[in-house]
Amino acid sequence: MIIMALNCGSSSVKYQLFDWEKKEVVAKGMVERVIIGDSFIEHDVPGRPTYRLEEDCPDHRAAINLVIRTVTDGECGVLQSVSEISAVGHRVVHGGEHFTRSVLIDDQVLNAVKEVQHLAPLHNPPNIDGIEAAKYLMPTVPHVAIFDTAFHQTMPEHAYLYPVPYEWYEKHGVRRYGFHGTSHLYVSKRAAVLLGKPANECNIITMHIGNGVSHCAIKNGISVDTTMGLTPLEGAVMGTRCGDIDPAIPSFMMVKENLSAKEIDGLLNKKSGILGITGRYTDRRDVIEHAAAGDHRCELALQMEAYRLKKYIGSFMAAVGRLDAVVFTAGVGEMGAVIRERAIENLEHIGIVLDRERNAGAMTRKRESLITTDDSPVKVFVIPTDEELVFTEDVVAILEGSYTDHMHFPYSFAQKGFVRN
């Protein structure tokens, strides 16, 4: 059984093919610069050089068609024909309140996703385009939606509502939804295994840190709070997003700079965060390098990001009570030893005792690492995330009729003997 995972962004299509019987990735890759021109695909097969082809993809249908042609190509492909694909799992960023778990896509599900696309105008439209394109190109294959927001639908009302007129929630769905749900699900389950405890007995803070950044407070195995809100703009300092700011700043700057609502939204989402502070960089490797060379604004960006991370550890610790572990994941979380150290140093008073040598050695996307001392009351792990594996297992379980929800479904990676390929 071959499962395809698709993640369609505004100008990209990321894909992976997973052989369920062999429990291994057989191919993965990405089509970049979809719609905007100079498109190309990079296709990776274990044990082979990366294959690259430049081909114009004016829309997501063309991009997915390029993916299908590539994976079935006689020379660079891995399949004889598209009929070998048993099902497709689609990442959908926003499911609103409609979806608390992954679901088989039919017209009703697709319409429900369309109804909430105004809540994620940068993400849901390309997700929808990808679903429609894939269904057109692979009409006989089951398609499954996996929602970023589903994992967080266990948050209590007092955590997900905002102190604004209640009618905004009733009429327009204004509330906290949260994102990166599949990542938080995966690493929290893995942390429970590393702790040697059932997931429903673990209190964990998971910190997904990449260009986008979100943290999750997990109490007894379920999400009770998270940093991203109605949109992915709220919360931590991010690559280009501002995160938490005084809500009066947008209207203040709209008056001062004569900006429209669309312009201020673009500035807060695309020109703020690490980029806004440094004026040049979003990649934390560049920031760390130039901070070490004496660039004040890069050093300031590191200080601001680490300070926000530290504050969220403290606030989420208050939310979950007794804390078992903190988990760092995603690109920066897995590779940014400097940022991790600054975020958790001097937290001995709340039970976190950093081992600097272990932390410095945890610079890989392939190994799970403990970066606190053996006697640290609260453990801190670096766990590489695997959202595509969550996609795959949800899809297979839905096909087999065995899927329930993340609290009860026996994911392979939540088992003691799991070995990541």
How much is the pLDDT for 11?
83
Supply the DSSP string of 359-393, one letter for each residue.
HHH---SS--EE-B-TT-SBEEEE----HHHHHHH
Whose structure tokens read 């392979």? 412
309-338 residues labelled b (16+ CB within 10 A) or e (exposed): bbebbeebbeebeebbbbbbbbbbbbbbbb
Q: CA distances (Å), 72 to each of 3, 76, 95, 133, 313, in order?
A: 14, 8, 32, 18, 46
Q: Where are the domains of the chain?
A: 2-147, 196-382
DSSP SS3 for 176? coil
pLDDT band at 56 (very low <50, low <70, confident <90, very high): very high
Per residue in 60-85, pLDDT tens?
Answer: 999 999 999 999 998 999 999 999 99
Pick the CATH number of 196-382 from 3.40.1080.10, 3.20.20.120, 3.30.420.40, 3.30.70.1560: 3.30.420.40
Instruction: Supply 153's token pair.
Output: 């639908």
Determine the distance from the C-alpha atom of residue 376 to the mean position of all C-alpha atoms in its chain, rounded to a whole number: 28
Per-residue model confidence (pLDDT) at position 117: 82
Match 């809540």 to its residue by tokens: 119
Centre a 10 Å sphere on the Cβ of residue 77 and count the other Cβ atoms it contains: 18
pTM higher than the cut 0.85: yes
CATH class of 2-147: alpha beta
Confidence of residue 36 (pLDDT cuts 50, 70, 90): confident
Interval 258-277 mean pLDDT? 94
Strand partners, 42: 30, 52
Cα–Cα distance measured from residue 45 to residue 28, given in angstroms and rounded to the nearest whole number: 7
Catalytic positions, please? 148
* pLDDT of res. 408: 86
pLDDT in tens, 173-192: 899 999 999 999 999 999 99
Segment 249-262, tens digit of pLDDT? 999 999 999 999 99
Query: Which candidate, 240, 273, 267, places its Cα nearest to that of 253?
Result: 267
Tokens of 236: 């931590």
Closest CA to 131 of 1, 230, 5, 18: 5
